[in-house]
Amino acid sequence: MSGKGVVIGITGGMGSGKTTAAAYFEELGFLKLDSDRIIRDDVLLRPEIVAAIREHFGEGVVNGRGAISRHSLARVIFSDDASRIWLEDLLHPHVIQAWLDHTTPRPEANWVIETPLLYERGLQKWFDFIVCVASSGDLQVSRLELRGVSKDHSRPRIARQLPLAQKIAAADFVLLNDGSREFLKEQVVWLAGRWS
């Protein structure tokens, strides 16, 4: 491509394989951003964000070091939609600013940005193309169990996301991830070839 790269938004359900697919894009020369990591390693550490969350949810979401306990916060927000939406409204402007801070100085680069709530938050306009990673519900739950999330916690969380069928219908490209990692990588290699 001449001059300007592309910005790919990669999304899908929890446990669908977004992170693995994004890593394959990175191996192929894309620059990668992980929205969850931006939240975890940057936004949730900011004093003003900690103070706002503490004021809204109380001391139960703060650990002994004065930092946000992501485990306690998750328990709260995944049991109450209003709390979850409040937190998303607080965090997402900072995530979008981080995207801009990274991508704006490198307009010639190809970027892949892992964005779990891309459709739920109406973030489509930020991307040149959207890729949805799709896998069966049972596989999502199994993968989340391997990451320490029990079925009792994973199924309600998956249910709170936009149904996978709607994400597939809205995406520009779909990567199928019910097979091997090699099969997923083959799809990424083919797709990335469009922009190399």
CA distance 185 to 25: 9
Look at residue 2 and tell me whether its pLDDT is greater than 70: no
- Domain assignments of the chain as residue spans, ordered by start: 7-195
Q: What is the pTM of this model?
A: 0.87
Q: Is 108 helix (H, G, I), strand (E, B) or coil?
A: coil
| Residue showing tokens 């998303």 | 88
pLDDT value at residue 51:
96
Look at residue 126 and tell me whether its pLDDT is greater than 70: yes
Residue 17 φ then ψ, to 5°? 110, 20
Look at residue 1 and tell me whether its pLDDT is greater than 60: no
pLDDT band at 113 (very low <50, low <70, confident <90, very high): very high
CB 91 within 8 A of CB 49: yes
% pLDDT > 70, the chain: 94
Strands 7-12 and 31-34: unpaired
pLDDT band at 152 (very low <50, low <70, confident <90, very high): confident
Look at residue 147 and tell me whether its pLDDT is greater than 60: yes
Give mean pLDDT, residues 15-27: 94
Residue 112 φ then ψ, to 5°? -125, 125
Residue range 7-195 forms a domain whose CATH class is alpha beta
Give mean pLDDT, residues 90-109: 96
Look at residue 56 and tell me whether its pLDDT is greater than 90: yes
pLDDT value at residue 43:
97
Q: What is the largest CA-CA distance in the chain?
A: 52
Range with lowest mean pLDDT among 26-30, 118-122, 157-161: 157-161
Range with lowest mean pLDDT among 3-7, 45-49, 156-160, 189-193: 156-160
Q: Is 107 helix (H, G, I), strand (E, B) or coil?
A: coil
